[in-house]
Chain A
Amino acid sequence: QRRDLLSPEGLRADGRRPNELRRIRCKMGVLSRTDGSAYYEQGNTKLTVSVFGPKQATHRRTAKHDRALVNCEYRTCAFSSGEHKTKGSKGDKRSIETASIIQKVFETAIVTTLYPNSQINIYVEILQSDGSEKCAAINAVTLALIDAGIPMKDFVVACSAGYLMGTPVLDINYMEDSTGGGPNLPLAILPKSGKVTMMQMDSKLPLDVFESVMNLAIEGAKMIYEFLLNEVKIQNT
């Protein structure tokens, strides 16, 4: 089954080449009751993000006197993947972990010192999952924060990369991730400086291969950045 993922001509199961991203579509300002929102599609992974804030911190004790708090909640809908999940999942470990990652990444990217004693809430809802949800979520959160007018030091863009049959591949989908496809490296950068703010990997890779996979993910993220930058300009004029 590993063999089906990369054909001898170098094409992946969904027809992409190893360094090709899936089609990305996004729309900002889709929800009327939020301060900022975005709908984001990367291939068959679809999600919406809503942002509320900056507003008064709900619990005085947790508020910080010199900066804003950033909270994140990550939820997958019951109909989002192959099997039905009762009542969606919000409290399970994976969702909590992803929420925590997003929170830490944006805590550094948002200029929180401008809003002491306040709170910014980010809600991610996965409508359909087909791999690389963490990365898609980070990209969508960036768009939603821009839509909300919250100042940030830079965009945060994320992309995943893997290693199939001796070739580094870009933008892993669900099949490539799950059916023994090999390592999955989601990575997020601040594009202007090129600094990496988030990186994970859940499998083993030899060190020399690791560098090429990581560089591919960074390149992919930069491509996504160009696309998002253009979309933001088009959608906000």
Chain B
Amino acid sequence: KTIGLAEKQYIERGVERNIRNDGRERKDFRPFIIETGVLSQANGSARVKHDNTDVIVGVKIDLGKPTQDRPTQGLIKFAVDCSPSFSAEFEGNQSNSKSRGSDIELTNILNEILQKGTNLESNPNSTSSKNLLETLCLVPGKLCLVLYIDTLVLDSGGNLLDTISIGVRSALFNTRIPKITVVDGEDVEITDDPFEYDYLDVESIPVSVTLSKIGSKFVVDANSEEEMTAEVRMMVGVNRNGRILYTQIAKGGAGVGGKPEGGIDVKTLCEMLETAKRLGVQLLQKMNSVLV
């Protein structure tokens, strides 16, 4: 799918005046619809619909061995799969470098954000003093829980990264861990009772906010046309305290013709980080009120 020069200019001039092509203001998100518990065979799941974007996240739990340098922590393994229905360009041979590039990019960024988020200090309001990964440890150095988080992208209407991060947080919120007791310091007993389970503490899990620079201004939650018009985009991982855990700047679409300069000037960069922080915290508060 491509976009013509006239449309790009239309979008850019609208953004200058704080009017986007779907009527939003620069800092407005599109509405999200989050459905949790959609996969009965997964330990936790969520489906997020956001304009045209449709993403399913499933969380499954398995037993594993902790890594040598972090013996008291469990593991999180994250994967994103862009199904061929996501875009006609990506269909066909899945080893096509274009589709793999997108899968891999999304996987890496979200993996970074998750790892950073779950490694920090725990929620001061919770009773335990462990952070999320430490709660997954069963026998230090020998046995731990592994969370497999798999995302399937069915359809995309722009801003896939933020939608997936919301889906991941919702699926983790929904995840039920069966009660496990450690026996003899080595073996574990997993309860068969479907009503005996714990929930995960997702307070520390961050969310990602992507800002796209169009012309001299930037917008949040870009749709597909805006993504193709943006010259540069910045992805920021924000947690509930407003701390920025991760940021990456990447090249956007082709940009409006005749402007070969990429990158972001420092003043705009600081503005973008401030905005991302503010919006991220708002988003997390909104999510918490809905997911409860």
Contacts and interface: CB of A to CB of B under 8 A. Distances in A.
Interface of A: 30-34, 37, 44, 48, 50, 52, 58, 73, 75, 77-84, 86-88, 90, 121, 123, 125, 127-130
B40 A128 contact: yes
B85 A37 contact: yes
A52 B150 contact: no
A79 B85 contact: no
Nearest to B52: A32
Interface in B36-88: 39-42, 45, 52, 54, 56, 58-60, 62, 79, 81, 83-88
B227 to A, nearest CB: 14
Interface stretch (B151-159, B183-191, B211-219, B236-244): B151-159
Contacts of A31: 54, 85, 154-155
Contact of B88 (A52, A73, A77, A78): A52
Contact of B85 (A83, A86, A125, A130): A125
Contacts of B91: 52, 121, 123
B148 interface: yes
B85 A48 contact: yes
> Do most interface residues of chain A lie in helix, strand or loop, or is the interface mixed?
loop
Interface of B: 39-42, 45, 52, 54, 56, 58-60, 62, 79, 81, 83-88, 91-92, 94, 148, 150, 152, 154-157
Contacts, number: 88
Nearest to B150: A78
A16 B88 CA distance: 41
A52 B83 CA distance: 13
A121 to B, nearest CB: 6
Please name the 7 residue pairs, one residue from A and one from B, whose CB atoms are nearest each other, closest first: A79-B58, A50-B85, A84-B60, A78-B150, A79-B42, A123-B84, A84-B148
A37 B88 CA distance: 13
Given A78-B150, A80-B41, A90 B94 contact: yes
Contacts of A87: 79, 81
